[in-house]
A and B are shown apart, each in its own frame.
Chain A
Amino acid sequence: MTWSRESKLNGFLVLLSVMAAWELVSRTEMLNPLFFPPMSKILRSFFSLVFSGEILAQILSSMRRAAAGYLLAALVCIPLGIIMGLFNSVYRALEVVIETARPLPPPVVVPVAMLFFGLGDGMKVFVIFFSCLWPILLNTMDGVRNIDRVLIHTARTFGLSQGRAILKVILPAASPQIMTGLRISLAITLILVVISEMVGSSDGIGYFILDSQRRLKVDQMYAGMLSLALLGYLLNQLFLLFSNTFLSWHRGMLRSDK
């Protein structure tokens, strides 16, 4: 969703004026500076938190949990999704269980996870794992199902065994949709790591933001949110880089279709 350089310029001007207005409104106490500390103070707090390494430590502990849950979900769901896509009987057998668990909003899994894992990392990893399951699983299955029959026959006419056909043909052919699932789950991961840290944790970026609010260190709260936004942006870019490298053929194909 980008237009032109000129529109970016406009946008930055607006952003700067919003920040300036914020500063002004806060300094003149038109809005309660307790809730809206001056922008300069927020930024100062942000930089001092960054340079003291405190934010980084919080983000690192969040990221550790996020990565564990996310990768675990991918590791389980991609193979399972492929199997479900290939064998309809497996899908049918799991269908009722999946459709029962899927409408559950992931945050309510937090208390269950707390019951089993306490307040430690295990709880967060489980919650993230659970909430990432569906997009990866169902997109992988869909991707496999949508592979054209001709492609499968091609693999077979070259004498590929089932195992090698999965690695050499099915997995790459379904990879664009698997990637879609992974992208959706990435956003969900970030949301759930924050939620689980807000509800039951003593560190991590989610905890840090909520805790700053409770202790009325409002500038720190905003600084935490800013770093969370930056983290989200960075992860997204990283993912795009990764998927563009692996799926460059697919992007080209989509372009040539137009």
Chain B
Amino acid sequence: MSLSNHERGSEVKSSGRFNFSGLALFAALLLLWEFSSRFTPAIQPYFPPASRVIHSLFQPSLARELFGHLLDTLGRFLGGYFLAAAMAVSLGIILGYFRFAYSLLEVVIELLRPMPSVAIIPVAILLLGIGNSMMVAVTVYACAWPILINTIDGVRNIDRTLIDTGRTFGLGRWKILRRIALPAAAPYIVTGLRISLSIALILVTTSEMVVGGSGLGFFILDEERSLHTSNMYAGIVVVALLGYALNRLFIAVETKAMAWHRGLTARGML
């Protein structure tokens, strides 16, 4: 039984070494795509040659169009994500800290939570129409859940001594919340934020598909319907790059902001 990877730890990310076999397989699949498409015109409506997709990506007119859609999508994403983060973190801290507040909302939360958040889209269309505000609203709604639940969990798991330490320093309740509860719950909050990152992208692209108009989700669906397949794939490449970039950015920020926590975990103090 091969155990060579045993000491590598559980983090699923690239080891940084040059991955020859991985790149080789990737290249082989691209080539397979390219040539099977070139030599079987019958499948070209489904699989235009990879080179054609790349080519269309670099056509100025399409690139400009894609860039516009990308900006629309990104704007909705950022608006929804940050609004959700601000609201859910503050509400989560309050609900986690004040047991009574949570008891009031518990049933409502438990009722709404299991509903797949995309189902809110029709309601949002009804109330807000089909503009940006609707897409941002559904993104806020969906992203808020993981952040809220994780923040509540995080605040509840704060060690009592930490809060008492704040008390002995004469901090008031609000100061304790801001100065102690917020940073102490941060590892949980970050987990929520990470989950919400992909959820935000799901909600933005879905609502763009459902209501149309603009954005990468709309573009991809629209190109599919008009059978411009290579444009559709070009759009997908752009979305994937966006998802990848957002993910990397998140990891970079997290690494910087949470350095203290990693140190703590590494020393086995948690």
Contacts and interface: CB of A to CB of B under 8 A. Distances in A.
A87 interface: yes
Given A111-B224, A112-B224, A145-B8, A190 B22 contact: no
Select the residue from B12, B235, B240 with max chain A CB neighbours within 10 A.
Answer: B12
Contacts of A100: 26, 240
Select the residue from B1, B2, B19, B102 with max chain A CB neighbours within 10 A.
Answer: B1
Nearest to B156: A1
Contact of A88 (B5, B25, B114, B117): B5
B103 interface: yes
B1 A94 contact: no
Given A96-B22, A152-B1, 12 more contacts: A97-B26, A97-B29, A108-B216, A111-B225, A114-B224, A115-B45, A145-B5, A145-B10, A213-B123, A228-B115, A228-B116, A232-B115
A150 B247 CA distance: 35
Q: What are the 5 tightest A-B residue pairs by CB atom distance, in nearest-first order?
A: A11-B107, A232-B114, A103-B243, A7-B103, A213-B122
Nearest to A15: B107
Interface of A: 1-3, 6-8, 10-12, 14-15, 18, 35, 85-89, 91-97, 99-101, 103-108, 110-112, 114-116, 138, 141-142, 145-146, 149, 152, 156, 162, 165, 187, 190-191, 194-195, 198-199, 206, 209-210, 212-214, 218, 221-222, 224-225, 228-230, 232-233, 235-236
Contacts of B45: 115
Given A145-B10, A152-B3, A3 B108 contact: no
B205 A105 contact: yes
A115 B224 contact: yes
Interface in B1-24: 1-6, 8, 10, 12, 14, 19, 21-24
A199 B212 CA distance: 11
B232 A105 contact: no
A235 B114 CA distance: 9
Nearest to B232: A111
B190 to A, nearest CB: 17
A106 B239 CA distance: 10
Given A3-B99, A228-B115, A86 B122 contact: no
A96 B25 contact: yes
A39 to B, nearest CB: 13
B216 A12 contact: no
Contacts of B153: 1
Contacts of B210: 198-199, 210
A111 B221 contact: yes
Contact of B111 (A2, A7, A213, A229): A229
Interface of B: 1-6, 8, 10, 12, 14, 19, 21-26, 29, 45-46, 99-100, 102-108, 110-112, 114-123, 125-127, 149, 152-153, 198, 201-202, 205-206, 209-210, 216-217, 220-221, 223-225, 229, 232, 235-236, 239-241, 243-244, 246-247
A84 B23 CA distance: 17
B123 A221 contact: yes
A198 B103 contact: no
Contacts of A218: 126
A141 B5 CA distance: 11
B121 to A, nearest CB: 7
Contact of B209 (A8, A88, A107): A107
Contacts of A190: 116
A13 B48 CA distance: 59
B221 A95 contact: no
A95 B14 contact: yes
Contact of B202 (A97, A107, A112): A107
Contacts of A165: 1
A182 B244 CA distance: 24
A108 B220 contact: yes
Contacts of B202: 105-107, 191, 195
A21 to B, nearest CB: 12
B205 A206 contact: no
B26 A108 contact: no
30 contacts: A1-B106, A6-B103, A7-B102, A10-B103, A10-B106, A11-B105, A11-B107, A12-B107, A92-B22, A96-B23, A100-B26, A103-B240, A103-B243, A103-B246, A103-B247, A104-B239, A105-B198, A107-B206, A108-B236, A115-B232, A152-B3, A191-B117, A191-B118, A195-B118, A198-B121, A198-B210, A209-B122, A224-B119, A225-B123, A233-B110
A108 B118 contact: no
